[in-house]
Structure 1
């Protein structure tokens, strides 16, 4: 049974819970939302508070409301662009990098290679030194390519973390696996997002027709003493929404 916690406002906690269910697919397009009366009873809040939560979801265009009818999850929502933060939180909560979203990845490359200058700088190794490169394509539950991402690691980890060089998925995520084998825990993440024109490689990976715009997100995960666990760059095509929830 869900319970209200402090300090977040009660209605916002209800919104967050329902939004997560919609994002994960637990509530699919067309599914009915609990009524304000049902939410008030289940959460132990007033009916106006429950109605405010419903109104908030409607304002965010996640649900459709019509007078005299039950609210329903909005059909054909734009897929979300999931940042490094999203993946990290999913791994912490569920032990799976994709949680229950229905998304999945195919690893198309896993190799030792010379580190480009920008990668070397982030990883704190010499340019041209060996680095581990993992390239994956992420697909939606209906098998559409959503993003192409490349993760980089210090090549010195190859012996201690041999699965990084195997072109197969690591269910807990690469950095979750690294935490397990090295004992180094990622506690700080930084995402930087930009927009640029797609390259031919982007178009091939994501099924785009050029010219097209893509969103490029770079993620750096560090330990408490600033050791870089993973440096990743993800590219996604148009039509994906980036959503960030935060407290002020």
Structure 2
């Protein structure tokens, strides 16, 4: 639906005229795209109510079940929020500061008054495995960008960043100079954050990770796994390895 002028949400629309250019895209996805376009354009701001499922069903000329799937997925992605007995609203984005602050590792290092540098070990175009396709919501074999970068603080390695990126969200990822900008800094500008899922656990590193961190493979690492959402889809999936003897996570609510 990108680039097309869409009618008011209160009018019935001609699906054939609007969806001709996206015939291979499921209708529920096109409804999601339409809702996202209206939100990104500022037509609906945080806290604003969107049209009801019944109104959207009439507008698109499809079943309410189809509309429900689009709204349900956007709710799961924290783009929308439902209030029982009231309606569906554009979500208030509070999770960025209350759950985990998304900061560049370079920013963290500089805040401590130290020197940051990075080494790029891998930058490639790849195809999503069956396991990796799942968090992206893509089909196995779909194209992805992949990078592996080691970050240093005062020339001591403190993080191995193993990142997979959705080309649909960040098409210029492969053209970046990651000695001058971190992937996080580029993605925060190219793919505005809508949501984040993360976990932290202690793991023994594989040999190649241990070598990059200059530690023994038996030394435990703090491993942060994070999936970020932008533009209604998964933007990146990253695993960040930190030597337990040199790094800690801290925060407050």
TM score, norm. by length of structure 1: 0.52
For the Cα contact (< 8 Å) 1:191–1:218, is it kept in 2?
Answer: yes
Cα offset, 1:131, TM superposition: 0.7
- Secondary structure of residue in 1 paired with 2:237: strand
**Separation of aligned partners in 1, 2:243 and 2:160:** 9
Determine whether 1:128 maps to 2:128: no
Q: Structure 1 stretches (4+) deviating beyond 3 angstroms? A: 95-101, 155-158, 178-181
Q: What are the superposed Cα offsets for residues 67-93 of structure 1, whole Å, 9 maximum, x if unpaired?
A: xxxxxxxxxxxxxxxxx945x2459xx
Determine whether 1:110 maps to 2:123: yes
**Separation of aligned partners in 2, 1:206 and 1:243:** 18
Of the candidates 105, 111, 129, which is equivalent to residue 100 of structure 1? Answer: 111
**Separation of aligned partners in 1, 2:120 and 2:100:** 20
In structure 2, do the counterparts of structure 1 residues 243 and 196 end up closer, same or farther at CA, with 3 Å as the change threshold? Answer: closer
Aligned Cα root-mean-square deviation (Å)? 2.9
**Separation of aligned partners in 2, 1:89 and 1:166:** 18
Cα offset, 1:218, TM superposition: 0.5
For the Cα contact (< 8 Å) 2:159–2:241, is it kept in 1?
Answer: yes
Cα offset, 1:115, TM superposition: 1.7
Of the candidates 219, 235, 240, which is equivalent to residue 212 of structure 1? Answer: 219
In structure 2, do the counterparts of structure 1 residues 133 and 222 end up closer, same or farther at CA, with 3 Å as the change threshold? Answer: same
In structure 2, do the counterparts of structure 1 residues 122 and 244 end up closer, same or farther at CA, with 3 Å as the change threshold? Answer: same
Determine whether 1:144 maps to 2:150: no
TM score, norm. by length of structure 2: 0.51
Cα offset, 1:240, TM superposition: 3.2
Query: Which residue number corresponds to residue 186 of structure 2?
Result: 177
For the Cα contact (< 8 Å) 1:145–1:205, is it kept in 2?
Answer: yes
**Separation of aligned partners in 2, 1:138 and 1:201:** 15
Cα offset, 1:135, TM superposition: 0.8
Of the candidates 198, 205, 226, which is equivalent to residue 205 of structure 2? Answer: 198
Q: What are the superposed Cα offsets for residues 68-122 of structure 1, whole Å, 9 maximum, x if unpaired?
A: xxxxxxxxxxxxxxxx945x2459xxx9575534333222211101223332111
Of the candidates 231, 234, 238, which is equivalent to residue 228 of structure 1? Answer: 234
Q: How many residues align?
A: 153
**Separation of aligned partners in 1, 2:103 and 2:217:** 34
Q: Which runs of 5+ in 1 are unaligned?
A: 1-83
For the Cα contact (< 8 Å) 1:109–1:167, is it kept in 2?
Answer: no
Cα offset, 1:227, TM superposition: 1.9
- Secondary structure of residue in 2 paired with 1:203: helix
For the Cα contact (< 8 Å) 2:161–2:238, is it kept in 1?
Answer: yes
In structure 2, do the counterparts of structure 1 residues 115 and 97 end up closer, same or farther at CA, with 3 Å as the change threshold? Answer: farther
Cα offset, 1:164, TM superposition: 2.8
